[in-house]
Chains A and B, each alone.
Chain A
Amino acid sequence: MFWILIIILVGLAVYIWSLYNQFVTIKTRIRASIQEIGNQLKRQADLIPNLVSSVKGYMKHEKAIFDELTEARKAVMKVIETEDAQKLINAGSRLQSALAPIRAVFESTPQLQAAGPTAKLMDELRDTADKVMYSRRTLIDLSADYNIKVVTFPSNLVARLFGFKLEVGLKMPEGGEELEVKEEETKTPKVEL
Protein backbone atom coordinates (compact mmCIF):
# COMPACT_ATOMS: atom_id res chain seq x y z
CA MET A 1 0.00 0.00 0.00
CA PHE A 2 2.78 2.36 1.01
CA TRP A 3 4.70 1.59 -2.17
CA ILE A 4 1.71 2.22 -4.36
CA LEU A 5 1.39 5.62 -2.76
CA ILE A 6 5.06 6.36 -3.40
CA ILE A 7 4.74 5.33 -7.05
CA ILE A 8 1.71 7.55 -7.52
CA LEU A 9 3.48 10.49 -5.93
CA VAL A 10 6.59 10.02 -8.04
CA GLY A 11 4.44 9.73 -11.17
CA LEU A 12 2.67 12.93 -10.25
CA ALA A 13 5.94 14.73 -9.61
CA VAL A 14 7.35 13.62 -12.97
CA TYR A 15 4.15 14.77 -14.70
CA ILE A 16 4.27 18.20 -13.07
CA TRP A 17 7.96 18.48 -13.80
CA SER A 18 7.57 17.70 -17.49
CA LEU A 19 4.63 20.10 -17.84
CA TYR A 20 6.60 22.84 -16.13
CA ASN A 21 9.44 22.27 -18.58
CA GLN A 22 7.03 22.40 -21.50
CA PHE A 23 5.63 25.72 -20.32
CA VAL A 24 9.10 27.18 -19.89
CA THR A 25 10.29 25.86 -23.26
CA ILE A 26 7.36 27.30 -25.17
CA LYS A 27 7.78 30.61 -23.35
CA THR A 28 11.47 30.74 -24.32
CA ARG A 29 10.63 29.97 -27.93
CA ILE A 30 7.93 32.61 -27.98
CA ARG A 31 10.49 35.11 -26.76
CA ALA A 32 12.99 33.94 -29.35
CA SER A 33 10.52 34.47 -32.17
CA ILE A 34 9.70 37.96 -30.90
CA GLN A 35 13.42 38.72 -30.87
CA GLU A 36 13.73 37.34 -34.38
CA ILE A 37 10.98 39.72 -35.53
CA GLY A 38 12.92 42.54 -33.87
CA ASN A 39 16.20 41.50 -35.51
CA GLN A 40 14.69 41.30 -38.96
CA LEU A 41 12.90 44.64 -38.61
CA LYS A 42 16.19 46.17 -37.54
CA ARG A 43 17.85 44.76 -40.64
CA GLN A 44 15.05 46.17 -42.79
CA ALA A 45 15.45 49.55 -41.16
CA ASP A 46 19.20 49.41 -41.73
CA LEU A 47 18.73 48.65 -45.41
CA ILE A 48 16.41 51.61 -45.96
CA PRO A 49 19.02 54.44 -46.21
CA ASN A 50 20.95 52.55 -48.91
CA LEU A 51 17.75 51.79 -50.76
CA VAL A 52 16.63 55.40 -50.60
CA SER A 53 19.90 56.69 -52.00
CA SER A 54 19.89 54.14 -54.81
CA VAL A 55 16.35 54.88 -56.01
CA LYS A 56 16.23 58.61 -55.29
CA GLY A 57 17.41 59.51 -58.76
CA TYR A 58 14.35 57.82 -60.27
CA MET A 59 11.81 59.40 -57.91
CA LYS A 60 12.67 63.06 -57.84
CA HIS A 61 9.20 64.48 -57.25
CA GLU A 62 7.98 62.12 -54.61
CA LYS A 63 9.20 63.62 -51.40
CA ALA A 64 6.13 62.44 -49.46
CA ILE A 65 7.03 58.80 -50.10
CA PHE A 66 10.53 59.25 -48.71
CA ASP A 67 9.24 61.22 -45.72
CA GLU A 68 6.83 58.45 -44.82
CA LEU A 69 9.60 55.88 -45.28
CA THR A 70 11.88 57.80 -42.93
CA GLU A 71 9.09 58.13 -40.38
CA ALA A 72 8.24 54.43 -40.59
CA ARG A 73 11.90 53.58 -40.18
CA LYS A 74 12.15 55.79 -37.10
CA ALA A 75 9.04 54.14 -35.66
CA VAL A 76 10.63 50.71 -36.13
CA MET A 77 13.88 51.79 -34.48
CA LYS A 78 11.91 53.15 -31.55
CA VAL A 79 9.97 49.95 -30.77
CA ILE A 80 12.79 47.47 -31.32
CA GLU A 81 14.08 47.88 -27.79
CA THR A 82 10.66 47.31 -26.25
CA GLU A 83 10.35 43.64 -27.36
CA ASP A 84 6.61 44.14 -27.50
CA ALA A 85 5.42 41.83 -30.25
CA GLN A 86 2.31 43.84 -31.06
CA LYS A 87 4.17 47.13 -31.39
CA LEU A 88 6.88 45.47 -33.46
CA ILE A 89 4.39 44.05 -35.86
CA ASN A 90 2.50 47.30 -36.23
CA ALA A 91 5.70 49.23 -36.90
CA GLY A 92 6.83 46.53 -39.31
CA SER A 93 3.65 46.64 -41.33
CA ARG A 94 3.85 50.43 -41.51
CA LEU A 95 7.35 50.05 -42.94
CA GLN A 96 6.09 47.45 -45.42
CA SER A 97 3.39 49.73 -46.75
CA ALA A 98 5.85 52.63 -46.90
CA LEU A 99 8.05 50.42 -49.05
CA ALA A 100 5.27 49.53 -51.48
CA PRO A 101 5.69 52.59 -53.77
CA ILE A 102 9.45 51.98 -53.92
CA ARG A 103 8.79 48.41 -54.98
CA ALA A 104 6.44 49.67 -57.67
CA VAL A 105 9.09 52.02 -59.02
CA PHE A 106 11.65 49.24 -58.92
CA GLU A 107 9.43 46.93 -60.89
CA SER A 108 8.71 49.50 -63.57
CA THR A 109 12.28 50.70 -63.98
CA PRO A 110 14.48 48.31 -65.94
CA GLN A 111 17.60 50.42 -65.25
CA LEU A 112 17.13 49.87 -61.53
CA GLN A 113 16.70 46.13 -61.95
CA ALA A 114 19.80 45.94 -64.07
CA ALA A 115 21.86 47.80 -61.51
CA GLY A 116 23.06 45.11 -59.11
CA PRO A 117 22.92 46.96 -55.77
CA THR A 118 19.23 47.88 -55.90
CA ALA A 119 18.16 44.42 -56.99
CA LYS A 120 20.27 42.99 -54.16
CA LEU A 121 18.62 45.36 -51.68
CA MET A 122 15.16 44.38 -52.90
CA ASP A 123 16.10 40.70 -52.50
CA GLU A 124 17.29 41.35 -48.97
CA LEU A 125 14.09 43.21 -48.14
CA ARG A 126 11.95 40.42 -49.50
CA ASP A 127 13.92 37.95 -47.40
CA THR A 128 13.61 39.99 -44.19
CA ALA A 129 9.89 40.42 -44.84
CA ASP A 130 9.56 36.64 -45.28
CA LYS A 131 11.48 36.05 -42.08
CA VAL A 132 9.20 38.44 -40.18
CA MET A 133 6.19 36.63 -41.64
CA TYR A 134 7.44 33.18 -40.60
CA SER A 135 8.50 34.36 -37.13
CA ARG A 136 5.10 35.95 -36.66
CA ARG A 137 3.47 32.69 -37.61
CA THR A 138 5.68 30.72 -35.25
CA LEU A 139 4.77 33.22 -32.56
CA ILE A 140 1.06 32.81 -33.20
CA ASP A 141 1.27 29.00 -33.31
CA LEU A 142 3.35 28.80 -30.14
CA SER A 143 1.07 31.20 -28.27
CA ALA A 144 -1.92 29.12 -29.29
CA ASP A 145 -0.27 25.91 -28.03
CA TYR A 146 0.70 27.64 -24.83
CA ASN A 147 -2.73 29.11 -24.21
CA ILE A 148 -4.45 25.79 -24.82
CA LYS A 149 -2.19 24.24 -22.18
CA VAL A 150 -2.92 27.08 -19.75
CA VAL A 151 -6.68 26.69 -19.96
CA THR A 152 -7.26 22.96 -20.43
CA PHE A 153 -7.47 20.37 -17.66
CA PRO A 154 -5.25 19.05 -16.10
CA SER A 155 -2.37 21.21 -17.32
CA ASN A 156 -4.23 24.32 -16.15
CA LEU A 157 -3.71 23.17 -12.55
CA VAL A 158 0.05 23.10 -13.09
CA ALA A 159 -0.10 26.46 -14.85
CA ARG A 160 -1.91 27.95 -11.88
CA LEU A 161 0.56 26.35 -9.48
CA PHE A 162 3.50 28.13 -11.14
CA GLY A 163 1.62 31.25 -12.16
CA PHE A 164 1.76 30.81 -15.95
CA LYS A 165 -0.74 33.18 -17.53
CA LEU A 166 -2.36 33.41 -20.95
CA GLU A 167 -0.16 34.96 -23.60
CA VAL A 168 -1.82 37.87 -25.29
CA GLY A 169 -2.58 37.08 -28.89
CA LEU A 170 -1.55 39.26 -31.78
CA LYS A 171 -3.95 41.59 -33.46
CA MET A 172 -3.24 41.98 -37.10
CA PRO A 173 -3.01 45.59 -38.27
CA GLU A 174 -6.29 46.80 -39.75
CA GLY A 175 -7.15 45.65 -43.20
CA GLY A 176 -4.71 42.79 -42.85
CA GLU A 177 -3.57 43.65 -46.33
CA GLU A 178 -0.15 42.12 -46.03
CA LEU A 179 -1.70 38.80 -45.06
CA GLU A 180 -3.10 38.29 -48.49
CA VAL A 181 -0.63 37.45 -51.16
CA LYS A 182 -1.36 39.05 -54.44
CA GLU A 183 -0.48 37.04 -57.51
CA GLU A 184 1.91 39.67 -58.87
CA GLU A 185 3.68 40.00 -55.54
CA THR A 186 4.74 36.38 -55.63
CA LYS A 187 6.50 36.76 -58.94
CA THR A 188 10.07 37.92 -58.90
CA PRO A 189 10.53 40.82 -61.28
CA LYS A 190 12.22 39.85 -64.51
CA VAL A 191 15.67 41.24 -65.01
CA GLU A 192 16.49 42.03 -68.64
CA LEU A 193 20.19 42.14 -69.23
Chain B
Amino acid sequence: MINVYEQVDRNKRRSTIIMVLFVVFIAAFAWVLSRALGYGPGMVGVAFIFAGIFSFSSYWWGDKIILTISGARPADKRKDFNFFTVAENLSMAAQIPMPKLYVIDDSAPNAFATGRDPNHAVVCATTGLLAKLDRTELEGVVAHELSHVQNYDIRLMSVVTILVGMVTLLADWFLRGMRFGGRDRDKKEGNIGVILFLVGIILALLSPLIAQLIQLAVSRRREFLADASAVMLTRYPKGLARALEKISKDREVLEAANKATAHLYIINPFKGQKFTGIFSNLFNTHPPVEERIKALWEME
Protein backbone atom coordinates (compact mmCIF):
# COMPACT_ATOMS: atom_id res chain seq x y z
CA MET B 1 0.00 0.00 0.00
CA ILE B 2 1.45 3.36 -0.97
CA ASN B 3 1.11 6.35 1.31
CA VAL B 4 -0.37 9.73 0.52
CA TYR B 5 2.95 11.46 -0.21
CA GLU B 6 3.94 8.84 -2.74
CA GLN B 7 0.50 9.17 -4.29
CA VAL B 8 0.96 12.95 -4.56
CA ASP B 9 4.39 12.57 -6.19
CA ARG B 10 3.09 9.95 -8.56
CA ASN B 11 0.15 12.13 -9.61
CA LYS B 12 2.37 15.13 -10.26
CA ARG B 13 4.80 13.02 -12.29
CA ARG B 14 2.06 11.44 -14.34
CA SER B 15 0.46 14.80 -15.07
CA THR B 16 3.73 16.01 -16.55
CA ILE B 17 4.20 12.80 -18.53
CA ILE B 18 0.75 13.10 -20.06
CA MET B 19 1.29 16.75 -20.97
CA VAL B 20 4.58 15.91 -22.71
CA LEU B 21 3.12 12.83 -24.39
CA PHE B 22 0.27 14.89 -25.74
CA VAL B 23 2.61 17.35 -27.43
CA VAL B 24 4.69 14.53 -28.88
CA PHE B 25 1.58 12.71 -30.02
CA ILE B 26 0.07 15.69 -31.81
CA ALA B 27 3.39 16.58 -33.45
CA ALA B 28 3.83 13.00 -34.65
CA PHE B 29 0.27 12.97 -35.84
CA ALA B 30 0.83 16.15 -37.82
CA TRP B 31 3.97 14.68 -39.30
CA VAL B 32 2.13 11.58 -40.50
CA LEU B 33 -0.60 13.73 -42.02
CA SER B 34 1.78 16.10 -43.74
CA ARG B 35 3.70 13.19 -45.23
CA ALA B 36 0.51 11.51 -46.39
CA LEU B 37 -0.87 14.66 -47.99
CA GLY B 38 2.38 16.01 -49.33
CA TYR B 39 2.55 19.21 -47.26
CA GLY B 40 5.84 20.59 -46.02
CA PRO B 41 7.23 20.22 -42.50
CA GLY B 42 5.78 23.59 -41.49
CA MET B 43 2.61 21.83 -40.41
CA VAL B 44 4.53 19.93 -37.77
CA GLY B 45 5.84 23.17 -36.29
CA VAL B 46 2.38 24.68 -36.18
CA ALA B 47 0.98 21.55 -34.56
CA PHE B 48 3.81 21.54 -32.07
CA ILE B 49 3.08 25.11 -30.99
CA PHE B 50 -0.66 24.51 -30.81
CA ALA B 51 -0.23 21.32 -28.81
CA GLY B 52 2.13 23.13 -26.47
CA ILE B 53 -0.35 25.91 -25.84
CA PHE B 54 -3.11 23.36 -25.40
CA SER B 55 -1.08 21.30 -22.97
CA PHE B 56 -0.19 24.40 -20.99
CA SER B 57 -3.78 25.56 -20.78
CA SER B 58 -4.98 22.13 -19.71
CA TYR B 59 -2.75 22.55 -16.66
CA TRP B 60 -3.49 26.19 -16.03
CA TRP B 61 -7.18 26.51 -16.93
CA GLY B 62 -8.24 22.87 -16.88
CA ASP B 63 -10.69 23.47 -14.05
CA LYS B 64 -12.35 26.38 -15.84
CA ILE B 65 -12.63 24.47 -19.11
CA ILE B 66 -14.18 21.50 -17.33
CA LEU B 67 -16.62 23.70 -15.42
CA THR B 68 -17.61 25.44 -18.63
CA ILE B 69 -18.25 22.25 -20.60
CA SER B 70 -20.22 20.91 -17.63
CA GLY B 71 -22.29 24.09 -17.39
CA ALA B 72 -21.61 24.76 -13.71
CA ARG B 73 -22.50 27.88 -11.71
CA PRO B 74 -20.78 29.06 -8.51
CA ALA B 75 -22.42 27.83 -5.31
CA ASP B 76 -24.15 30.28 -3.04
CA LYS B 77 -23.87 30.13 0.76
CA ARG B 78 -27.54 30.94 1.31
CA LYS B 79 -29.01 28.74 -1.39
CA ASP B 80 -26.61 25.80 -1.01
CA PHE B 81 -26.23 26.09 2.75
CA ASN B 82 -25.41 22.45 3.50
CA PHE B 83 -23.00 22.06 0.60
CA PHE B 84 -21.21 25.26 1.52
CA THR B 85 -20.89 24.68 5.24
CA VAL B 86 -19.99 21.01 4.91
CA ALA B 87 -17.16 21.93 2.54
CA GLU B 88 -16.08 24.66 4.93
CA ASN B 89 -15.96 22.27 7.89
CA LEU B 90 -14.26 19.43 6.10
CA SER B 91 -11.55 21.57 4.54
CA MET B 92 -10.87 22.86 8.04
CA ALA B 93 -10.58 19.27 9.26
CA ALA B 94 -8.36 18.33 6.30
CA GLN B 95 -6.29 21.48 6.88
CA ILE B 96 -6.48 22.62 3.29
CA PRO B 97 -7.83 25.93 1.98
CA MET B 98 -11.51 25.84 1.17
CA PRO B 99 -12.01 24.91 -2.50
CA LYS B 100 -14.26 26.93 -4.77
CA LEU B 101 -17.69 25.38 -4.95
CA TYR B 102 -19.81 24.96 -8.07
CA VAL B 103 -23.22 23.53 -8.80
CA ILE B 104 -24.53 21.91 -11.98
CA ASP B 105 -28.27 22.18 -12.54
CA ASP B 106 -29.02 18.51 -13.15
CA SER B 107 -31.33 16.23 -11.24
CA ALA B 108 -28.99 13.22 -11.50
CA PRO B 109 -26.97 13.09 -8.25
CA ASN B 110 -23.21 13.23 -8.81
CA ALA B 111 -20.12 15.24 -7.92
CA PHE B 112 -16.52 15.79 -8.97
CA ALA B 113 -13.42 17.76 -8.03
CA THR B 114 -10.98 19.49 -10.32
CA GLY B 115 -8.16 22.04 -10.24
CA ARG B 116 -4.38 21.87 -10.21
CA ASP B 117 -3.48 21.83 -6.49
CA PRO B 118 -5.17 22.32 -3.10
CA ASN B 119 -4.79 26.10 -3.47
CA HIS B 120 -6.60 26.08 -6.81
CA ALA B 121 -9.25 23.45 -6.33
CA VAL B 122 -12.89 23.21 -7.26
CA VAL B 123 -15.56 20.88 -5.93
CA CYS B 124 -18.67 20.61 -8.03
CA ALA B 125 -21.97 18.94 -7.19
CA THR B 126 -25.24 18.58 -9.07
CA THR B 127 -28.45 20.06 -7.71
CA GLY B 128 -29.77 16.50 -7.68
CA LEU B 129 -27.05 15.46 -5.26
CA LEU B 130 -27.73 18.40 -2.96
CA ALA B 131 -31.45 17.69 -2.98
CA LYS B 132 -31.35 13.92 -2.58
CA LEU B 133 -28.63 13.47 0.05
CA ASP B 134 -28.93 14.50 3.67
CA ARG B 135 -26.18 16.42 5.39
CA THR B 136 -24.33 13.37 6.68
CA GLU B 137 -24.27 11.71 3.27
CA LEU B 138 -23.18 14.95 1.68
CA GLU B 139 -20.32 15.10 4.18
CA GLY B 140 -19.16 11.71 2.91
CA VAL B 141 -19.24 12.81 -0.72
CA VAL B 142 -17.51 16.14 -0.09
CA ALA B 143 -14.86 14.40 2.02
CA HIS B 144 -14.25 11.98 -0.88
CA GLU B 145 -13.78 14.92 -3.26
CA LEU B 146 -11.49 16.74 -0.82
CA SER B 147 -9.34 13.62 -0.66
CA HIS B 148 -8.94 13.82 -4.43
CA VAL B 149 -7.87 17.44 -3.89
CA GLN B 150 -5.35 16.53 -1.20
CA ASN B 151 -3.88 13.67 -3.22
CA TYR B 152 -3.40 15.82 -6.35
CA ASP B 153 -5.71 13.43 -8.16
CA ILE B 154 -7.42 16.55 -9.41
CA ARG B 155 -4.38 17.73 -11.36
CA LEU B 156 -3.89 14.45 -13.13
CA MET B 157 -7.57 13.94 -13.78
CA SER B 158 -8.03 17.44 -15.19
CA VAL B 159 -5.06 17.13 -17.51
CA VAL B 160 -6.34 13.73 -18.65
CA THR B 161 -9.82 15.11 -19.19
CA ILE B 162 -8.67 17.97 -21.35
CA LEU B 163 -5.90 16.28 -23.35
CA VAL B 164 -6.79 12.62 -23.62
CA GLY B 165 -10.49 13.31 -23.45
CA MET B 166 -10.23 15.80 -26.27
CA VAL B 167 -8.57 13.23 -28.53
CA THR B 168 -11.28 10.73 -27.66
CA LEU B 169 -14.07 13.16 -28.38
CA LEU B 170 -12.46 14.21 -31.63
CA ALA B 171 -12.05 10.61 -32.77
CA ASP B 172 -15.65 9.93 -31.89
CA TRP B 173 -16.79 12.99 -33.74
CA PHE B 174 -14.78 12.24 -36.88
CA LEU B 175 -15.98 8.66 -37.00
CA ARG B 176 -19.57 9.71 -36.52
CA GLY B 177 -19.16 12.32 -39.25
CA MET B 178 -17.97 9.58 -41.59
CA ARG B 179 -20.93 7.38 -40.86
CA PHE B 180 -23.66 9.97 -41.28
CA GLY B 181 -23.86 11.89 -44.49
CA GLY B 182 -20.19 11.54 -45.21
CA ARG B 183 -20.95 11.22 -48.91
CA ASP B 184 -22.54 14.63 -49.29
CA ARG B 185 -19.73 16.41 -47.62
CA ASP B 186 -17.17 14.58 -49.69
CA LYS B 187 -18.65 15.98 -52.86
CA LYS B 188 -18.71 19.55 -51.60
CA GLU B 189 -15.46 19.72 -49.75
CA GLY B 190 -13.47 17.06 -51.52
CA ASN B 191 -10.06 17.26 -49.94
CA ILE B 192 -11.32 18.10 -46.45
CA GLY B 193 -13.44 14.97 -46.44
CA VAL B 194 -10.41 12.86 -47.18
CA ILE B 195 -8.45 14.54 -44.40
CA LEU B 196 -11.26 14.00 -41.91
CA PHE B 197 -11.47 10.38 -42.96
CA LEU B 198 -7.73 9.95 -42.49
CA VAL B 199 -7.79 11.67 -39.11
CA GLY B 200 -10.63 9.44 -37.98
CA ILE B 201 -8.91 6.27 -39.10
CA ILE B 202 -5.62 7.21 -37.44
CA LEU B 203 -7.32 8.18 -34.21
CA ALA B 204 -9.27 4.94 -34.26
CA LEU B 205 -6.05 3.01 -34.68
CA LEU B 206 -4.62 4.87 -31.74
CA SER B 207 -7.51 4.07 -29.45
CA PRO B 208 -5.66 1.36 -27.49
CA LEU B 209 -3.01 3.92 -26.61
CA ILE B 210 -5.64 6.39 -25.49
CA ALA B 211 -7.30 3.72 -23.40
CA GLN B 212 -3.96 2.95 -21.82
CA LEU B 213 -3.55 6.60 -20.88
CA ILE B 214 -6.95 6.75 -19.27
CA GLN B 215 -6.25 3.56 -17.36
CA LEU B 216 -3.00 5.13 -16.20
CA ALA B 217 -4.91 8.02 -14.75
CA VAL B 218 -7.93 6.36 -13.30
CA SER B 219 -6.87 3.31 -11.46
CA ARG B 220 -9.44 1.63 -9.32
CA ARG B 221 -7.19 2.11 -6.34
CA ARG B 222 -7.56 5.87 -6.62
CA GLU B 223 -11.27 5.69 -5.83
CA PHE B 224 -10.77 3.26 -2.94
CA LEU B 225 -8.03 5.47 -1.54
CA ALA B 226 -10.24 8.56 -1.75
CA ASP B 227 -13.06 6.65 -0.01
CA ALA B 228 -10.70 5.62 2.77
CA SER B 229 -9.29 9.13 3.26
CA ALA B 230 -12.82 10.50 3.24
CA VAL B 231 -13.62 8.26 6.20
CA MET B 232 -10.48 9.52 7.94
CA LEU B 233 -12.01 12.97 7.70
CA THR B 234 -15.60 12.26 8.68
CA ARG B 235 -14.91 9.21 10.87
CA TYR B 236 -18.29 7.99 9.75
CA PRO B 237 -18.09 5.41 6.93
CA LYS B 238 -21.85 4.85 6.89
CA GLY B 239 -22.42 8.38 5.60
CA LEU B 240 -20.41 7.83 2.43
CA ALA B 241 -21.73 4.28 2.05
CA ARG B 242 -25.31 5.50 2.18
CA ALA B 243 -24.48 8.28 -0.29
CA LEU B 244 -22.88 5.87 -2.78
CA GLU B 245 -25.88 3.59 -2.50
CA LYS B 246 -28.28 6.44 -3.18
CA ILE B 247 -26.29 7.80 -6.10
CA SER B 248 -25.84 4.42 -7.75
CA LYS B 249 -29.48 3.42 -7.32
CA ASP B 250 -30.64 6.66 -8.89
CA ARG B 251 -31.66 5.91 -12.46
CA GLU B 252 -31.32 9.39 -13.88
CA VAL B 253 -28.52 10.00 -16.32
CA LEU B 254 -26.30 13.02 -15.92
CA GLU B 255 -26.62 15.05 -19.09
CA ALA B 256 -23.76 17.36 -18.20
CA ALA B 257 -21.21 14.53 -18.41
CA ASN B 258 -19.54 13.33 -21.57
CA LYS B 259 -16.90 10.73 -22.30
CA ALA B 260 -14.09 13.13 -21.51
CA THR B 261 -15.39 14.10 -18.09
CA ALA B 262 -16.99 10.80 -17.03
CA HIS B 263 -14.02 9.57 -15.04
CA LEU B 264 -14.01 12.68 -12.87
CA TYR B 265 -17.28 11.89 -11.15
CA ILE B 266 -17.63 10.09 -7.83
CA ILE B 267 -19.82 7.48 -9.54
CA ASN B 268 -19.77 6.71 -13.24
CA PRO B 269 -22.42 9.07 -14.61
CA PHE B 270 -23.38 6.68 -17.41
CA LYS B 271 -24.41 3.92 -15.01
CA GLY B 272 -26.38 1.16 -16.67
CA GLN B 273 -26.47 2.95 -19.97
CA LYS B 274 -24.47 1.19 -22.67
CA PHE B 275 -22.01 3.17 -24.67
CA THR B 276 -22.35 3.10 -28.38
CA GLY B 277 -19.36 3.45 -30.56
CA ILE B 278 -15.86 2.25 -30.74
CA PHE B 279 -14.62 3.42 -27.36
CA SER B 280 -17.40 1.92 -25.30
CA ASN B 281 -15.48 -0.81 -23.51
CA LEU B 282 -12.64 1.50 -22.58
CA PHE B 283 -14.62 3.52 -20.12
CA ASN B 284 -14.81 1.16 -17.20
CA THR B 285 -13.20 3.88 -15.18
CA HIS B 286 -14.79 3.19 -11.82
CA PRO B 287 -14.56 0.15 -9.59
CA PRO B 288 -17.95 -1.46 -8.99
CA VAL B 289 -19.93 0.55 -6.46
CA GLU B 290 -20.89 -2.59 -4.57
CA GLU B 291 -17.23 -3.26 -3.81
CA ARG B 292 -16.72 0.28 -2.59
CA ILE B 293 -19.78 0.16 -0.36
CA LYS B 294 -18.71 -3.19 1.04
CA ALA B 295 -15.27 -1.81 1.85
CA LEU B 296 -16.89 1.10 3.64
CA TRP B 297 -19.14 -1.12 5.75
CA GLU B 298 -16.09 -3.14 6.75
CA MET B 299 -14.48 -0.02 8.19
CA GLU B 300 -17.13 0.23 10.91
- Report A's interface with B, CB cutoff 8 A: 36, 120, 123, 126-127, 130-131, 134-135, 137-138, 181, 186-188
Residue contact A137 to B85, C-beta cutoff 8 Å? no
CB B146 to nearest CB in A, in angstroms, measures: 12
Among A126, A135, A181, which residue has its beta carbon within 8 angstroms of that of B92?
A135
Among A120, A130, A188, which residue has its beta carbon within 8 angstroms of that of B89?
A130
CB B89 to nearest CB in A, in angstroms, measures: 5
Task: For B88, list chain A residues within 8 Å (CB).
Answer: 131
Task: For B90, list chain A residues within 8 Å (CB).
Answer: 134
Residue contact A138 to B134, C-beta cutoff 8 Å? no
Interface set, chain B 65-93, CB cutoff 8 A to A = 81-82, 85-86, 88-90, 92-93
CA distance A135 to B91 in the complex (A): 11
Task: For B86, list chain A residues within 8 Å (CB).
Answer: 130
Given contacts A127-B89, A187-B134, A187-B136, contact A138 B95 (CB under 8 A): yes
Task: For A36, list chain B residues within 8 Å (CB).
Answer: 92
CA distance A103 to B205 in the complex (A): 62
The answer to the question of B128 belonging to the interface, with a C-beta cut-off of 8 Å to chain A, is no
Task: For A130, list chain B residues within 8 Å (CB).
Answer: 85-86, 89
CB B280 to nearest CB in A, in angstroms, measures: 38
Residue contact B236 to A126, C-beta cutoff 8 Å? no
Residue contact A186 to B92, C-beta cutoff 8 Å? no
Give 19 A-B contacts (CB < 8 Å), ordered by A residue. A123-B81, A127-B85, A130-B86, A130-B89, A131-B85, A131-B89, A131-B92, A134-B89, A134-B90, A134-B93, A135-B92, A137-B93, A181-B236, A186-B134, A186-B135, A186-B236, A187-B136, A188-B82, A188-B135
Nearest-neighbor residue (CB-CB) of B82 within chain A: A123
Nearest-neighbor residue (CB-CB) of A29 within chain B: B95
Residue contact A134 to B92, C-beta cutoff 8 Å? yes
CA distance A130 to B89 in the complex (A): 7
Chain B interface: which size bin? 10 to 19
Task: For A135, list chain B residues within 8 Å (CB).
Answer: 92
Task: For B135, list chain A residues within 8 Å (CB).
Answer: 126, 186, 188
CA distance A155 to B211 in the complex (A): 50
Among A126, A127, A138, A188, which residue has its beta carbon within 8 angstroms of that of B93?
A138
Task: For A126, list chain B residues within 8 Å (CB).
Answer: 135
The answer to the question of B239 belonging to the interface, with a C-beta cut-off of 8 Å to chain A, is yes
CA distance A186 to B243 in the complex (A): 12
Contacts beyond the supplied A123-B81, A127-B85, A186-B135: 18 A-B pairs with Cβ under 8 Å: A36-B92, A123-B82, A126-B135, A130-B86, A131-B89, A134-B90, A134-B92, A135-B92, A137-B93, A138-B95, A181-B236, A186-B134, A186-B136, A186-B236, A186-B238, A186-B239, A187-B136, A188-B135
Task: For A138, list chain B residues within 8 Å (CB).
Answer: 92-93, 95
Task: For A181, list chain B residues within 8 Å (CB).
Answer: 236
Nearest-neighbor residue (CB-CB) of B136 within chain A: A186
CB B94 to nearest CB in A, in angstroms, measures: 10
Task: For B134, list chain A residues within 8 Å (CB).
Answer: 186-188
Nearest-neighbor residue (CB-CB) of A142 within chain B: B95
CA distance A6 to B136 in the complex (A): 57
Task: For A187, list chain B residues within 8 Å (CB).
Answer: 134, 136
CB B38 to nearest CB in A, in angstroms, measures: 64
Task: For A131, list chain B residues within 8 Å (CB).
Answer: 85, 88-89, 92
Nearest-neighbor residue (CB-CB) of A131 within chain B: B89
Encode B104-115 as 1/0 by CB contact (under 8 A) with A. 000000000000
Nearest-neighbor residue (CB-CB) of B137 within chain A: A186
Nearest-neighbor residue (CB-CB) of B85 within chain A: A127
CB A184 to nearest CB in B, in angstroms, measures: 11
CB A138 to nearest CB in B, in angstroms, measures: 7
CB B183 to nearest CB in A, in angstroms, measures: 56
Point out which of B82, B89, B238, B239 has the most chain A C-beta atoms below 10 A from its C-beta.
B89
CA distance A130 to B111 in the complex (A): 22
Across chains A and B, which 10 residue pairs bring their CB atoms closest together, nearest first?
A188-B134, A186-B136, A127-B85, A134-B93, A130-B89, A134-B89, A188-B135, A187-B134, A134-B92, A131-B89
Task: For B136, list chain A residues within 8 Å (CB).
Answer: 186-188
Nearest-neighbor residue (CB-CB) of A134 within chain B: B93
